[in-house]
Chain A
Amino acid sequence: MSEAGIQLQCRLPLADFTLEADLNLPGRGVTALFGASGSGKTSLLRCVAGLARPAGRVKINGECWQDDAQRVFLPTHKRALGYVFQEASLFAHLSVRANLEFGRKRIPAAERKVGWEAAVELLGIGHLLDRGTAALSGGERQRVAIARALLTSPQLLLMDEPLAALDSRRKQEILPYLERLHDELATPILYVSHSPDEVARLADHMVLLEQGRVVASGPTVELLARLDLPLALDEDAAVLVDTQVVGHDEDYQLTRLGFPGGVIKVTRKALDVGKRARLKIQARDVSIALTGENPSSIVNRLPARIVGFGDAAHPAQCLVRLDAGGTPLLARITRLSKDQLGLREGLPVVAQIKSVALLA
């Protein structure tokens, strides 16, 4: 068995169901634990942290935190982890600086991989250091809490819906910092969320939980495009497309983003040619035409092939999974259109994309 990665085998009886997980997760990048409220996401995270005591095994990149077979169970304070709670939970009796120092001073100097300056700069909290915690805004508190966790130089960062307690403006304020964490740190992150948007922006890998059971686990791009998962039933069902900037059209002020399935044009972005860009394309923004010949105002029309059909939330609609040069797309159309156009598996069609969102 490979030593790298995160191995979790947990069994923990909860009030309504038993949490059961057997997961092998990548030892780097962001893994989202995704599911509805009460699906056991937070409990799973607490099992990893040792805050709950499941039966099973927890191994992080070769280091054993729990193994019932060997009677090993490290208490939380002996696990090299960082934990960001839903509410920032700063120590009210300490200043921001003392909150940050609280964990850091317990780490031997030789093991400090995350520098003070780096963490403070990364989260943009330099101007808050000498304040008390009571005067901070919700977003500032959460940034301090994230920095506090980082400063323990954890081998694994656990984040329990760090944005859930914030309004959408504060969320937008913190998301860029989380994206920087993802880009600039080698530390793997387990990120609990019930927001498809956050998962799409941050996660490389995702674990779908339902009633304490793992429904699916895999790369985010693949899971989002699957028709057989509850994700497809979401009003905001969407796929992710990883693209690269191939050029700009200065006349029309457009940026061309290339991927194996073709080129997508978006409004001019200040991105250098060659830069990677992740797009989110919602199923409701994709329509299907049999040929690309009809004049239309829709700029992005990609040749694709129908791979399969699935149910949508409303019985009038269905989801169509398309393959555009190896990249999956989802289109949500009415069942009426499906029959009128005579859509069937294997049929070559044109995917018309009304709008895309640039994530990073």
Chain B
Amino acid sequence: MELTPEDWSAVRLTLELSTLVTVLLLIIGTPIAWWLARTRSRLRGVIGAVVSLPIVLPPTVLGFYLLVLMGPQGAVGRFTEALGLGRLPFTFTGLVVASIIYSLPFVVQPIQNAFMAMGDRPLEVAATLRASPLVTFFTVTLPLARPGFITAAILGFAHTVGEFGVVLMIGGNIPDKTRVISMQIYNHVEAMEYGQAHGLAAGLLAFSFIVLLGLYAVGGRNGLGGGR
């Protein structure tokens, strides 16, 4: 069950997609998590629910609405066309956008939990030691919330690697552009190439197990050394 060049292409594309999405998610998710952890606004519940929606929503439902939104009749589609970016569905960029939305809660929640567990005190202490809010964020908040960020990055990456329904709806099955590992497995099974499917599926299985192992290691350290 040697991997074919097409399989390798799917692996490379998946890693590219997941890495890019994880980096973008950490950048986008951090301010959202910060807001959700500290705000007293009444909108907190609504925004929190919207961010968490992808956890419970069937990926096909999410993919369907994204397809509609990004399509020629959708608001986002018209906007991207007006900007000269063209339409997002069936492109790598579209896949990135969809994956960000799909994996957002898996990144926001661990970071939000870390911010909440930290409380206000370290920030107040930093302020009394003349650190501006921005300096405090980088010298106190980020280091103290590091386990939350590690968990968020691992979950965001793994979740993006494993997505299928959303990709199917919005990205299709275009070699080198949107054909990720889970697509490729599906193709092999469709073609009755069970051996080839095994090669990729076993790889994903091992990957998922290692990810969870890593998560528990981070969680364990966190639990033991988290006290102040």
Which chain A residues have a beta carbon within 8 Å of chain B's beta carbons?
49-51, 75-78, 81-83, 85, 87, 89-93, 102-103, 106-107, 133-134, 148-149, 152, 158
Contact = CB atoms under 8 A, between A and B. Distances in A.
Contacts of B131: 77, 102-103, 106
B228 interface: yes
A158 B132 CA distance: 19
A81 B128 contact: yes
A77 B125 contact: no
Nearest to B118: A92
Contacts of B228: 87, 89-90, 92, 133
Interface in B118-167: 121-122, 124-133, 139-140, 143-144, 146
A103 B121 contact: no
B130 A89 contact: no
A102 B227 CA distance: 20
Contacts of A106: 129-131
B121 A51 contact: no
B127 A75 contact: yes
B135 to A, nearest CB: 8
A149 B121 CA distance: 15
Given A77-B132, A134-B225, A89 B121 contact: yes
A107 B144 contact: no
B125 A91 contact: yes
Contacts, number: 65
Contact of A103 (B130, B132, B225): B130
B130 A51 contact: no
A203 B144 CA distance: 37
Contact of B124 (A51, A82, A93): A51
Interface residues of B, number: 20
A217 to B, nearest CB: 25
Interface in B196-228: 225, 227-228
21 contacts: A49-B128, A51-B128, A76-B124, A76-B127, A77-B128, A83-B124, A83-B128, A85-B124, A87-B121, A91-B125, A91-B140, A91-B144, A92-B144, A92-B227, A103-B129, A103-B130, A107-B130, A133-B228, A134-B227, A149-B129, A152-B130
A168 B138 CA distance: 38
Given A93-B143, A93-B144, A134-B227, A85 B121 contact: yes
B95 to A, nearest CB: 37
Contacts of B225: 134
Given A89-B121, A134-B225, A82 B144 contact: no
A133 B121 CA distance: 16
A330 B21 CA distance: 75
Contact of A89 (B122, B133, B139, B146): B122
A87 B130 CA distance: 19
Nearest to A98: B139
* Top-10 shortest CB links A-B: A103-B129, A83-B128, A76-B127, A106-B130, A93-B143, A77-B127, A89-B125, A92-B228, A77-B130, A89-B121
Given A50-B127, A76-B128, A134-B225, 4 more contacts: A51-B127, A77-B133, A92-B227, A134-B227
Contacts of B144: 91-93
A82 B133 CA distance: 17
Contact of B129 (A75, A133, A148): A148
Nearest to A50: B127
Interface in B82-139: 121-122, 124-133, 139
Given A89-B122, A93-B143, A93-B144, A82 B227 contact: no
